[in-house]
Structure 1
């Protein structure tokens, strides 16, 4: 069976509602985020997953568990969110006061991850994933998911700024016509 990667962003958190940059801070889902995760599980129910990988952060783990996959999930450190360094907990407006021309996907974060570092991390995960066959579930985060998506199709990290991921969304990465040299995005942000 050809590889199909089902990429899920975690459910809503207080910081995703407020627009704060949420990288490595380990915050839980809101009640609404828990409901989103359960609904995501209903959408995923018809699919049999050969592998389930989850970020070590609790918002992704909670989403995975509430979706019904906690018992079979393996923690994958490379799925953790972009390290926002000095910008952790700040909104875009807060950062723009300091640096009006800032762009995460171009500049990264001071004392956090650079675009080159997160690109290398996504590429390491892709190297692991391409060795697998079948359906793979990934429970991760917004910015890392965007980087993974663009790196999957061979684009630079900066292209991630053009791919939005909503909470509890589902995206599918695959191969066009099952040719491993033709990675494709079947659906995004569903």
Structure 2
């Protein structure tokens, strides 16, 4: 089995102000750096073999901070782990985006299913490259939630917290979602 810890990046100033970041490259703030170190402490209870991230700086810095605490070096950045592109709504607050497009269909919005496909494609690639390994993947809330929604066959996964750790595994029998935001969920094979 390949075991994955899916970690959302730490907080940014745009997170703090409720702005849609999407694929905009917004750096961590000091709170986000502290959250990354706290995530590392939660992850320290297990042994990890591989550390990878999205190429966006908020995810790569979170990964590097986690790696420094765990003695791991980030081995790669995967473009398909970048956050969902929110089109013309990027940089706006949720309220501003709702005011402009109350139906939620922002011009240029990347389809959610495409976000899930590229995220799962990356996890499958990592499973092939690192079978029977424990892999930390630092990405974004939208990507992690899209992956979990497909695996759980729902559109109702909870919001992924900054530096939240969710875990999944995959083997010959399929995918298993083990926890979301550090909270164990009932065993289910997918």
TM over 0.5: yes
Output the CA distance in 2 between the equivalents of 1:146 and 1:54: 16
Matches within 5 A, 1:70-149: 71-102=73-104, 107=105, 109-131=106-128, 132-149=131-148
TM-score (norm 1): 0.84
Report the counterpart of residue 51 of structure 1 in structure 2.
50
Q: 1:24 Cα deviation (Å)?
A: 1.3
Decide whether aligned partners of structure 1 residues 76 and 93 sit closer, same or farther in structure 2, where only a CA change above 3 A counts: same
**Aligned equivalents of 1:74, 1:14: Cα separation in 2:** 25
Structure 1 segments (4+ residues) deviating >4 Å: none
Distance 1:71 1:81 in 2: 22
The residue aligned with 1:13 is 12
C-alpha deviation, 1:182, in angstroms: 4.2
Task: Specify every segment of 5 or more residues in structure 1 that has no aligned partner in the other structure, as ranges.
Answer: none
Check if 1:169 corresponds to 2:137: no
Q: CA RMSD in A?
A: 2.0
Q: How many residues align?
A: 177
TM-score (norm 2): 0.84
- 1:4 to partner: Cα distance: 1.0
CA apart distance, 1:154: 5.6
Give the gaps of 5 or more residues in structure 2: 183-190
Query: Which residue of structure 2 lines up, in the alignment, with residue 155 of structure 1?
Result: 153
